[in-house]
Every structure is written in C-alpha cells, then in structure tokens.
A and B are shown apart, each in its own frame.
Chain A
Amino acid sequence: DAGVIQSPRHEVTEMGQEVTLRCKPISGHNSLFWYRQTMMRGLELLIYFNNNVPIDDSGMPEDRFSAKMPNASFSTLKIQPSEPRDSAVYFCASKMAGQNQPQHFGDGTRLSIL
C-alpha cells in the first residue's frame, strides 16, 4: 500500500501566483481531508470530502482557496491568488468509512509564498 501521496513536497512561489496542491488517497478510502498546519493554530481542517462530494468546507479561509475531488483517486487544493500568510504545511488525509477508522496522512506539502 503506497499510502496517501501528496505532491509537490515543497513549493516556493511568489505572491499572486496560483498554487495547486495534489493528493492521491489510499485506494478504497471514501473520505478525504485537507488540513493546514501553522505554528499559531496547529492542525486545522480546511475541507473534507465523502465519496468525492464536499461535505464541510467551513474551514476554507477565503474565496482564494478552492478544492476539488473529480474522482475517488485524486483531489486538488488550489490557492489563487496566493499570499505570504498562506505559507504553511498542507496535509491531505484519507480514511475508510466508519467512525472507528483512523485517518491516514500524506507527508504534506510545505508551501512558502514570498
């Protein structure tokens, strides 16, 4: 099992540019989560999908952030336009159905907006 795969691992870009983060969940998992980790706020949920459908996007900070899950094996988190305060580590996680199931995290994307 390859685990949750995120790309890129690191991204450095100038403010105003569009940033796209990618995630491939574990095969057979039906829920996918996008998190942001910062020193100030810790690990905070941005959005999660169940069976490819967005369920709760209340954590998405602004309209500049958007996420899609076109199929069961792929999701993107897009920031347009990016700002320096978006710099953080972004994690994707997936899980199987059921409240007893843990979330499995990818290695994260470290994003730096200059």
Chain B
Amino acid sequence: ILNVEQSPQSLHVQEGDSTNFTCSFPSSNFYALHWYRWETAKSPEALFVMTLNGDEKKKGRISATLNTKEGYSYLYIKGSQPEDSATYLCATNYGGSQGNLIFGKGTKLSVKP
C-alpha cells in the first residue's frame, strides 16, 4: 500500500520566521510528487509538480526540493507571512500518468503576526 507521510502534523511560527516541512514517500515506482496549499474553507491549490531527482521549484517565497532515491521532498517558506497560514499537502501518484494521487495528511501551518 502506498503511504505518504508528512511531518510535522502542525507548525506554529512567528511572522518573518522561515520554516520547512517534510514529505516522505516510497521511492519505488515513483512518477511525480505534488505539493498543494489548502486554505481553510477553500479547495486545494496546486503549488508544484516535480518528477526528477534533484528537482527544485520556486514560487515567490515558497520553494521545494525532491529526492526520489531516498523518497522525500522538502517544502520551504522564507519569511513566513500570516497569509501563508494553510495546510500544505503533498501527494504522489502511481499507475503512470493516468494514475491517481495518494495524499499525505498535510502539515498545518499557522503564522502569527
């Protein structure tokens, strides 16, 4: 059974702090790793999709790295702002390009002003 683990489960930081969290996944039969940002009362919004070992993606103050050999990805937020408060989900897919995503339970980030 494919299992995607995220840690920590929740995180509280002060505005301006930089933070990071982890997504672990089975490295065998890897196809792609997705990160989503999910604000309360809204729907998940795609941040990054990464497929190659060593991939690094960046969007503003948020960046992500991928290690497919050891099965983990890090998400970094530089200089956290209150509007970064959300649950960050990672997911990986199996079954090729048509396969579904298996989501982790997410890391809930709260940024205090």
Contact = CB atoms under 8 A, between A and B. Distances in A.
Contact of A50 (B36, B42, B98): B98
A48 to B, nearest CB: 5
A101 B34 CA distance: 9
Q: Is the interface of A mostly helix, strand, loop or mixed?
A: strand
B103 interface: yes
A48 B101 CA distance: 10
B27 to A, nearest CB: 16
A56 B43 CA distance: 23
B49 interface: yes
Interface string A39-58: 00011110010100001100
Interface stretch (A19-27, A60-68, A79-87, A103-111): A103-111
Contact of B98 (A97, A103, A105): A97
Q: Is the interface of B mostly helix, strand, loop or mixed?
A: mixed
B46 A102 contact: yes
Contacts of B104: 42
Contact of A45 (B89, B96, B100): B100
A39 to B, nearest CB: 11
B28 to A, nearest CB: 16
A43 B98 CA distance: 19
Given A43-B44, A103-B46, A106-B43, 20 more contacts: A42-B103, A45-B100, A45-B101, A45-B102, A55-B98, A91-B44, A93-B44, A97-B97, A99-B31, A99-B97, A99-B99, A102-B36, A102-B49, A103-B44, A103-B101, A104-B46, A105-B43, A107-B42, A107-B43, A108-B43
